[in-house]
Amino acid sequence: MSETTDEIGPPRCETCVSEGERSKVYLPQYSITTAMIDPPPYYDEEGRFHRHVANTNTAEWTCSRGHRWTVRSRPACPAGDVPGLHEVTFTANPDPDPTQ
Q: Tell how strand 49-50 and strand 68-74 pair up.
A: unpaired
Q: Which is nearer to Zn ion, 50 or 72 (CB)?
A: 50
Q: Tell how strand 31-33 and strand 57-63 pair up.
A: antiparallel
Among 11, 26, 31, 50, binds Zn ion (CB under 5 A): 50
**Binding to Zn ion by residue 74, rule CB under 5 A?**
no
Cα–Cα distance, 62 to 82 (Å, whole number): 29
Beta bridge partners of 25: 63
Tell me the window of 31-39, 43-51, 68-76, 89-97 that interacts with Zn ion (CB under 5 A).
Answer: 43-51
**Binding to Zn ion by residue 65, rule CB under 5 A?**
yes
Beta bridge partners of 92: 68
Among 6, 38, 81, 87, binds Zn ion (CB under 5 A): 81
Nearest to 25 by CA among 55, 89, 68: 68
Tell me the window of 26-34, 53-61, 62-70, 84-92 that interacts with Zn ion (CB under 5 A).
Answer: 62-70
Residue numbers of the site for Zn ion (CB under 5 A)? 13, 15-16, 23, 50, 63, 65, 67, 77, 79, 81
